[in-house]
Structure 1
Amino acid sequence: MSENETAAPARPTDPIHWKVVIDCADPQAQADFWGAALHYTVEDNNALIEHLLKLGALPPEATQEHNGRLTFRDLVAVRHPDDLYDEESGTGLGRRLLFQRVPEPKTGKNRLHLDLHPGAERRSAERDRLTALGASVLEEVKQAGGEWLVMSDPEGNEFCLH
């Protein structure tokens, strides 16, 4: 957008941008798992973090090094590789999962979960790939409406593989 252009004002019927936020104990490990599981890109916020550190707007203890890059200590996201992202911050502008550190452990069944749909012909291979990444199979479901697996990620968050 040029200096003389302005963005059109939002209308009440414009779609709302969203992301799914997942509470966890280790955001970086969860982002690594889900990035690999979904073939998504782990967001690289290194440049943004360096900028915020130089400005004094972010304390060093709010960051950590992971895979050779600076990350926020308590949150990291994965984004669909085909979606737009802000090159200065590394933040995705489309489909995203954000993992945020929380102090309490998971204590019950998820009220929200992801359904992965690789297709029946790929389900077995995807199960093997996901378990190799650290997932576990919790249940094999066979009902009149279909077959799927209930699985959990490395921190015990349930998801389904259809």
Structure 2
Amino acid sequence: MTETETSAARTPAPVHWKLVVDATDPHAQADFWAGALHYEPEDNSAFVERLLEAGALPGAATVEHHGRPAFRDLIAVRHPDDPYDPERGTGLGRRLLFQRVPGTKAGKNRLHLDLHPGEGRRADEVERLKALGASVLREVREPAGQWVVMADPEGNEFCVH
């Protein structure tokens, strides 16, 4: 083995990930975040239909979302430039998955997204996000920088830099 082959054999592949967000209404959250990030809601309708036809998924586990059958308790949004599995409609790259949980959010997030709309675009982005249903929690001005702390429609905090 050459030195390059030996080094490549020892370097593990990066771990694929998705960020999972608990939600009382996953479909509304997916719509908000798809708009906020300019992502696409995943279309799992063909997969859902196959599962229903095979009897592997009960009808009660589905809903109609944007005129298509969807899983009742989960939906994801994905970056439009990333690959996806056309058989299932599932993203294979950057994605957020919203899963239904009982009850509402309690307490401060331990993890949040920072959005970076670009130099001089913060105020316009905050207004756009407010129009989508977000709210401003506070504006921060520190020696390290300035940003706006916002909340999505279910109260999950995120920052706009």
TM-score normalised by the chain length of structure 1: 0.92
Distance 2:92 2:160 in 1: 26
Aligned-pair Cα RMSD in Å = 1.3
Q: Which amino acid aligns with 1:121?
A: G
> Per-residue deviation at 1:29?
0.1
Aligned length in residues: 153
1:6 is aligned to none
> Per-residue deviation at 1:14?
1.1
Alignment of 1:35-50 (within 5 A): 35-50=34-49
Matched, 1:160 2:152: no
Distance 1:17 1:41 in 2: 19
2:96 is aligned to 97
Q: Note the alpha carbon deviations across 1:132-151, whole angstroms, 9 max, x for none.
A: 00000000000001000000
Gaps of 5+ in 2: 1-8
Distance 2:119 2:61 in 1: 43
Q: Which amino acid aligns with 1:62?
A: A
2:144 is aligned to 145
Distance 1:42 1:78 in 2: 4
2:6 is aligned to none
2:73 is aligned to 74
Taking only the aligned residue pairs, the percentage that are identical comes to: 69
Identify if the C-alpha distance between structure 1 residues 83 and 11 changes in structure 2 by more than 3 Å, giving closer, same or farther: farther
Q: Note the alpha carbon deviations across 1:5-31, whole angstroms, 9 max, x for none.
A: xxxxx9871111100000010000000
Q: 3-state SS of the aligned residue for 2:85?
A: coil
Distance 2:76 2:99 in 1: 9
2:114 is aligned to 115
Gaps of 5+ in 1: 1-9
1:57 is aligned to 56
Q: 3-state SS of the aligned residue for 2:153?
A: coil
TM-score normalised by the chain length of structure 2: 0.92
2:133 is aligned to 134
Distance 2:10 2:26 in 1: 35
CA contact (8 A) 2:104 2:154 kept: no
Distance 1:47 1:65 in 2: 13
Q: Note the alpha carbon deviations across 1:60-115, whole angstroms, 9 max, x for none.
A: 00000011011100000000000000011100000000000001211100000000
Q: 3-state SS of the aligned residue for 2:124?
A: helix
